[in-house]
Chains A and B, each alone.
Chain A
């Protein structure tokens, strides 16, 4: 099989891999392919510089030091926070980007590059929520009304994948994998829709199912790789009923955020929420029962 042109970099706490099929027959095509992959991969560092919770110099962390002020922000941070707040709203807070301090309390406070503790030091009240954050679209500003730590972990990687996919779209047949957040464009080297496996949440050597996708994103939230890393806001307990939540959507940012929300909501409410948003998904409980949206199709 032609593996295509493959490039991998470590970014955003995981391994990011881009694969492009074709465009290798002429020097010009290869050069254009290389440049497109360069631009695609550059998005990961760019998004991380803005959205990282672990870097005190990130725009997100600098925003976190300004309480009560309407802080003008970059278009990227505005878009990411606006999207996170919108998902928080439609999921009644099951997804909430203000969980940052609870993530820190659960020990997710180390920068992956260095292993050093990179906690914000911000003391947030237990009842802070996304309602303590307001946006002004005209001024492109964000106001934090109380001390809180924004966490864009379920948004930023998807955003980077989406931006990368736009850079690669002219190449038609490509794959982006950001540590299990996947976007596939066009077809694989066999000219078929890409086969995307969903990891079994209790056995890393097994796949639960394989789905055929083209021009779509698939993201999975699971309780396995970083146990307890999804914090449930409503009960403040780590959500345990769902072991793995997988969502297929046109955008990785949407798929990632809704997978996280579905994970927190649980199998019944989670599937219902996904169907309300016209996306496909599968939830697997800790007892390994599967719940799928209507129309979920797998190989």
Chain B
């Protein structure tokens, strides 16, 4: 779940573990996203990413905030 206020991400939390990785494995990614504040490409190609769940949660939240 990603919360947006005044166009800035104020929190990003994985509400549910959808992958075989534990939530604690994903958690360190969260500060990177708040620091980056960016969704400057349409999509990113990479090796199978659990973090994509978070990436798209951010992307959707940003889109809805606009």
Q: How far, in angstroms, from A289 to B59 measured CA to CA in the complex?
A: 30
Which B residue sits closest to A17, measured CB to CB? B56
Name the prevailing secondary structure of the A interface residues: strand
A205 sits at the interface (CB 8 A): yes
A13-B20, A205-B36 known; A179 vs B41 contact (CB < 8 Å) = no
B10 within 8 A of A: no
Is A15's beta carbon under 8 Å from chain B?
A: yes
Task: Indicate if the CB atoms of B32 and A204 lie closer than 8 Å.
Answer: yes
Quick one: which of A13, A157, A196 contacts B44, CB cutoff 8 A?
A: A196
C-alpha spacing A112/B53, complex, angstroms: 14
Q: Kindly state the separation between the CA atoms of A229 and B46 in the bound complex, as whole angstroms.
A: 14
| Other-chain residue from B32, B41, B52 in contact with A180 (beta carbon distance below 8 A) | B52
Q: How many A-B residue pairs lie within 8 Å, measured between CB atoms?
A: 116
**B48 & A13 in contact (Cβ 8 Å cutoff):** yes
B44 A15 Cβ-Cβ under 8 A: no
Most buried by A among B29, B42, B63, B66: B42
Interface segment, A3-11, A39-47, A87-95, A271-279?
A3-11
Q: How far is the CB of A15 from chain B (nearest CB, A)?
A: 4
* 18 more CB-based (< 8 A) A-B contacts, given A14-B49, A197-B43, A225-B48: A8-B60, A10-B18, A179-B48, A179-B52, A180-B48, A181-B45, A181-B48, A182-B44, A188-B42, A196-B43, A199-B47, A205-B35, A220-B46, A220-B47, A225-B51, A226-B47, A244-B47, A246-B45
CB-based closest 5 A-B pairs: A222-B47, A199-B46, A3-B63, A112-B20, A197-B41
* Residue positions of B touching A, CB distance < 8 A: 18-20, 29, 32, 35-36, 41-53, 56, 59-60, 63-64, 66
